[in-house]
Structure 1
Amino acid sequence: MSFNMYIPTRVLFGAGRLNDLKEQKMPGKKAMIVISNGKSTKANGYLACTEEQLHLAGVETVVFDKVEANPLKSTVMAGGAFARKNGCDFIVALGGGSCMDAAKAIATMATNDGDCWDYMGGGTGKGMPITKKPLPIIAITTTAGTGSEVDQWGVITNEETHEKMGFGGIDELFPVLAIVDPELMCTVPPQLTAFQGFDALFHSVECYISGMANLMGDMYALTAIENVGRNLARAVKDGNALEAREKVAFGNTLSGAVMCISACTSEHSMEHAMSAYHQELPHGAGLIMISKAYFTHFIEQHVCDERFVRMAQAMGMEEAKEPMDFIAALTKLQEDCGVADLKMSDYGIRPEEFDEMAKNARETMGGLFMCDRSPLSHEDCVAIYEKSYR
């Protein structure tokens, strides 16, 4: 029954809500707009619209367009220096989870000394406390994947040590404002829509089977699983199906919230180890690759049979009665979204890496292993990678 809940972000949700940005209370006078190093944000007009809205609100803007799909420590450090050099007093993260994650670390390094990794709690991080208040953040999400618009965490990769870990966790890194406008998501290509949607789905799936699960988190998680599970395939097949986009976006934002109330499990640790060594691997793709073997392992342990049945029902299999029905529902959704045949080998992952990746997962994000309902050993991790390999 017990839980902790603090999610202070003001959320503007719905089609066209980016146009309401100008009417909101601004946390400063000069914004650093953080976008990806790709072309879509500019080409689709989202950057121009955001700049116009901020200017109408009396805010000056500068643009930092360097963020990778898996944001790097070096980029975060460059972003912090950019914010200081330009006298920015708040950050606007415009883009997907990577931009929002990077923005949280950039906001921190704009006001704190040292290296980003000084403030990391795992791996080679020094575990130092963040002593100076980060710059305030407005998050405008253009994807439905990470839920980072409503939580206080970011994920950053240290390219020198091959570590990919959560950064932050302090209350000051919750965005002060989030705009979730599904119209901005209609231009996301089908495969990326699928990758992002499964990331959102697995956030809630993991939080629902986590040892940290509770009544409040369950409410968020099941609603998210239902909205993503029943609408993602339609959003993948028809990017302009706004109703489907809206429901997947809704599920994604709920999935961000549930991570503040419950906690993910070791599946995320295991995938972070994969993409820490293979920068081009999309996070959602890695999760899809290991998901069936991963969740089957816990089903075979009978850690929470009724929860797997309930998730299958939420995804649309109303007649589900057995825990393995969840794997059937998951498989069908992956097939419907065209991502059932992803191969680790296509991203350069080799079986001889599995032992090191399993070790990396535990050393960098060992805390999530503590949320598993039954202990997942090093050998179990290697076996899950092996069963997932193609």
Structure 2
Amino acid sequence: MITNFTYFIPTRVLFGAGQLNHLHEQQLPGKKALIVTTSGKSVKRNGTLERVEKQLEMANVEYTLFDRVHPNPTLANVMDASILGKESGCDFVIGLGGGSAMDAAKAIAFAMTNPGDLWDYSFSTTGGKKERIAQPLPIVCITTTAGTASEVDPWGVITKEETGEKSGFFSGESMYPILSIVDPDLMMTIPSQFTAYQGMDAFFHATESVINTKNHIMGEMFALKAIELVAKYLPLAVKDGSDKEARYYMAVANSLAGYYMLCTSAHSMEHSLGGFYPELPHGAGLIMIAHAYYQKFADLKVCEGQMIKIAKAMGVHNAISGQDFVNALDKLIADIGMSDLKMSDFGITKEYLKSCPERTRKVMGGDISADPAELSDMDMLEIYLQSYK
């Protein structure tokens, strides 16, 4: 199919080892920042937060810290932080950390300028679906992980705890960060388990973009290179977190996958799990359902050509079928030590899975209409049950 496209990513990206040191040299979008980070201690323990604060001081920018974002950021996180930011007089927001911190920062920037509750503007099941009143505050992202690519996209994923809705939040081009720093040196201390979860999130962003029926040659260019890099370097980064080359190329792969991201129902299916079980890391949930999900399309032979491209990008040069991709995927998951992930270890029950197909159709994660073949509720339930351990 020959189609036109418009490509506009307004984010200025400083990429490479040591780039955090240049934050103070940039034209920052305000005089006081709300620094948003998670409730974990890593950015404090490894000195990253202190370095960011020092950079802001060198730029004569004041700051207030909100450090209570959950691993799956919640609506309550967003509203609490927006109140703090407004009371403190902050005029821009910095997301410091992984996808959770950056996603939350985007939603907080929106909530600080628009009246009412963030969910009034959400298009999820119980969302108010209102149009925004004002532009969000400017956003700066400093990523410390290679997984979500939130540093180069305009999306945030927020969970409404009362209803278990884990849903994408989007409000147009204004939610792109104006500045992002991707410094692989900040990723060196990520534990191997989380390196694997995050790296596979980036991988699935890319594979879903390639099998997506709305795929475009422009996006495929980014996605296939991301797949190649993850397949080669994620096992090395998991094995040795201090491997600078592996961390560098995983950071490249992550951002490439985010430059053009077209997720399918796989992301919505994971959101149905993570919304009710917030301790489940997003990447872990995606890994759990991956074999059964892609095997379904391989068996149907509905995207053989695209799966063959993915397999070849993963190094299977003689690939001739979608099954070759599924086999390569299984090997990659084994190589990073994730073959034995169990839903039951996170409290997920088989009984809960029965509600997931309906929930999948209601949460915003991926575009179900872009799947290579339409999945019925029974198909989705079969994928969940085959994935259950």
| Alignment partner, residue 380 of structure 1 | 379
| Alignment partner, residue 85 of structure 2 | 83
1:307-332 Cα deviation digits (max 9, x unpaired): 11111111122222221111111111
Counterpart residue identity of residue 311, structure 1:
I
Q: Give the alignment partner of residue 71 of structure 2, picking from 69, 72, 78.
A: 69
Counterpart residue identity of residue 153, structure 2:
D
Report SS of the residue matched to 2:361: helix
Per mean C-alpha deviation after superposition, the further-off stretch among 310-319 and 323-332 is: 310-319
Q: In structure 2, do the counterparts of structure 1 residues 220 and 367 end up closer, same or farther at CA, with 3 Å as the change threshold?
A: closer
Deviation at 1:61, TM superposition (A): 1.0
Aligned residue pairs, count: 387
Report SS of the residue matched to 1:175: coil
CA contact (8 A) 2:144 2:183 kept: yes
In the alignment, does 2:142 pair up with 1:136?
A: no
Per mean C-alpha deviation after superposition, the further-off stretch among 202-211 and 371-380 is: 371-380
In the alignment, does 2:279 pair up with 1:277?
A: no
Report SS of the residue matched to 1:232: helix
Counterpart residue identity of residue 168, structure 2:
G
Report SS of the residue matched to 1:191: helix
Per the normalisation by structure 2, the TM-score is: 0.98
Task: Give the whole-Å Cα distance in 2 for the aligned partners of 1:92 and 1:278.
Answer: 27
Q: In structure 2, do the counterparts of structure 1 residues 206 and 144 end up closer, same or farther at CA, with 3 Å as the change threshold?
A: same
Task: Give the whole-Å Cα distance in 1 for the aligned partners of 2:370 and 2:79.
Answer: 31
| Alignment partner, residue 312 of structure 1 | 311
CA contact (8 A) 2:263 2:366 kept: no
Task: Give the whole-Å Cα distance in 1 for the aligned partners of 2:385 and 2:89.
Answer: 50
Deviation at 1:215, TM superposition (A): 0.8
Q: Equivalent residues in 2 for 1:158-169 (5 A)?
A: 158-169=160-171
Task: Give the whole-Å Cα distance in 2 for the aligned partners of 1:146 and 1:274.
Answer: 17
Task: Give the whole-Å Cα distance in 2 for the aligned partners of 1:237 and 1:61.
Answer: 37
| Alignment partner, residue 224 of structure 2 | 222
Q: Give the alignment partner of residue 213 of structure 2, picking from 203, 211, 214.
A: 211
Report SS of the residue matched to 1:364: coil
1:55-76 Cα deviation digits (max 9, x unpaired): 1111111111011100011010
| Alignment partner, residue 249 of structure 2 | 247
Task: Give the whole-Å Cα distance in 2 for the aligned partners of 1:302 and 1:47.
Answer: 49
| Alignment partner, residue 59 of structure 1 | 61
Counterpart residue identity of residue 316, structure 1:
G
1:320-356 Cα deviation digits (max 9, x unpaired): 2221111111111111101111001111111111121
- Could you list the runs of 5+ residues in structure 2 that have no partner in the other structure? none
- Could you list the runs of 5+ residues in structure 1 that have no partner in the other structure? none
Q: Equivalent residues in 2 for 1:60-209 (5 A)?
A: 60-209=62-211
Deviation at 1:169, TM superposition (A): 3.7
| Alignment partner, residue 326 of structure 1 | 325
The CA RMSD measured in Å over matched residues stands at 1.0
Counterpart residue identity of residue 30, structure 1:
K
1:235-273 Cα deviation digits (max 9, x unpaired): 0000000100111110100111111xxx11000000000
Counterpart residue identity of residue 128, structure 1:
K
Deviation at 1:206, TM superposition (A): 0.3
Per mean C-alpha deviation after superposition, the further-off stretch among 355-364 and 176-185 is: 355-364
| Alignment partner, residue 388 of structure 2 | 389
Deviation at 1:367, TM superposition (A): 6.2
Task: Give the whole-Å Cα distance in 2 for the aligned partners of 1:81 and 1:357.
Answer: 34
1:26-78 Cα deviation digits (max 9, x unpaired): 10010111111010000000001011111111111111101110001101000
Report SS of the residue matched to 1:365: coil
Task: Give the whole-Å Cα distance in 1 for the aligned partners of 2:34 and 2:18.
Answer: 22
Counterpart residue identity of residue 236, structure 1:
V
| Alignment partner, residue 50 of structure 2 | 48
Report SS of the residue matched to 1:11: strand
| Alignment partner, residue 363 of structure 2 | 364
Per mean C-alpha deviation after superposition, the further-off stretch among 303-312 and 280-289 is: 303-312
Deviation at 1:122, TM superposition (A): 2.1
Deviation at 1:131, TM superposition (A): 1.9
| Alignment partner, residue 341 of structure 1 | 340
Deviation at 1:366, TM superposition (A): 7.8
Counterpart residue identity of residue 355, structure 1:
K
Report SS of the residue matched to 1:324: helix
Report SS of the residue matched to 2:55: helix
